[in-house]
């Protein structure tokens, strides 16, 4: 079946503190984006890989071009688009360049550069078994609570107050690649394009937009190696994974 993988790599990488887009940050002698693209190509699930890079970033475009040459003529089509100001806007830009006739789209964070092939396969298998939306998920180890800013008498004690505790056994930390029926994902993103700034800021993955349509979202097993490289600590962990037995 005709599948495309969208790789979003248009983030600023501010939290990593390298002073450059995260996709360019070195990891094991290469960039985060190169590792991410290798992982996608190795999984061999797509006829097209569509990459969203920061608008006007010629270096990352060049890197995608080098990768295209590395794959050769038999490899998937590599398409590069300018990303947007939010992750969802970057996904939308990439969806606009997906080939006609595509049935399924996997949306993947470049920041999850070490995602194992088996996770791509689990998502692809669930899609071909009829799911319209599939996400990789792992159990949560921390207890997760809701908080609110304190006001009134409590304000002098601490900045936040706990308003509830989520039952941990029902919680999952979700990862990418998230897989969708192409038409369903287009509908979900068309709805999101009309959000105001506050609503847009609350969109942290693609599956939540599909949930808003009332379409069931299925969860398969993710992997701890799929961590989203976000902070300097994550980069140390990723370097360790590359050097260690899991690399």
Residues near ligand C5P (CB under 6 A) are 8-11, 22, 52, 83-87, 90, 109-111, 228, 230
CA nearest 223: which of 244, 205, 204, 241?
A: 241
State the nearest-atom distance from the C-beta of 90 to ligand C5P, in Å: 3
Specify the pairing of strand 172-174 against strand 133-139.
antiparallel
Q: Which residue's beta carbon is nearest to the bound ligand C5P?
A: 11
In terms of CB distance, is 110 or 217 closer to ligand C5P? Answer: 110
Number of Cβ within a 10 Å radius of residue 47: 15
Q: Token pair for residue 188?
A: 């979900």
State the nearest-atom distance from the C-beta of 30 to ligand C5P, in Å: 16
State the nearest-atom distance from the C-beta of 83 to ligand C5P, in Å: 4
DSSP 134: E
In terms of CB distance, is 76 or 83 closer to ligand C5P? Answer: 83
Phi, psi of 154 (to 5 degrees): -75, -15
Q: How many residues does the chain have?
A: 247
In terms of CB distance, is 158 or 230 closer to ligand C5P? Answer: 230
Give the whole-angstrom CA distance, residue 228 versus residue 32: 11
State the nearest-atom distance from the C-beta of 134 to ligand C5P, in Å: 18
Q: Are 105 and 2 in contact (CB under 8 A)?
A: no
In terms of CB distance, is 8 or 126 closer to ligand C5P? Answer: 8
State the nearest-atom distance from the C-beta of 72 to ligand C5P, in Å: 26
In terms of CB distance, is 107 or 163 closer to ligand C5P? Answer: 107
């Amino acid at each position: 079946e005709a599948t495309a993988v969208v790789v979003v790599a248009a983030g600023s990488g501010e939290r990593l503190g390298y002073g450059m887009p995260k996709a360019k940050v070195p990891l094991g002698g290469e960039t985060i984006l190169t590792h991410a693209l290798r992982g996608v190509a190795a999984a061999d699930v797509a006829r097209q890989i569509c990459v969203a890079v920061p608008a006007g970033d010629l270096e990352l475009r060049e890197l995608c071009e080098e990768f295209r040459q590395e794959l050769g003529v038999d490899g998937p089509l590599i398409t590069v688009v300018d990303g947007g100001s939010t992750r969802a806007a970057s996904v939308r830009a990439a969806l606009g360049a997906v080939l006609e006739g595509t049935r399924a789209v996997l949306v993947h964070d470049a920041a999850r550069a070490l995602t194992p092939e088996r996770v791509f396969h689990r998502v692809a298998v669930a899609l071909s078994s009829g799911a319209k939306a599939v996400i990789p998920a792992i159990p949560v180890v921390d207890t997760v609570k809701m908080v609110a800013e304190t006001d009134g008498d409590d304000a002098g004690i601490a900045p936040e107050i706990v308003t509830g505790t989520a039952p941990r056994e029902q919680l999952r930390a979700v990862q990418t690649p998230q897989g969708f029926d192409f038409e369903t994902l287009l509908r979900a993103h068309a709805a999101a394009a009309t959000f105001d700034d506050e609503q847009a800021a609350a969109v942290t993955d693609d599956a939540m937009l599909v949930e808003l349509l009332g379409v069931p979202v299925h969860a398969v097993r993710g992997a701890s190696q799929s961590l989203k490289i976000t902070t300097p600590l994550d980069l140390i962990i990723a370097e360790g994974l590359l050097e260690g037995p899991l690399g």
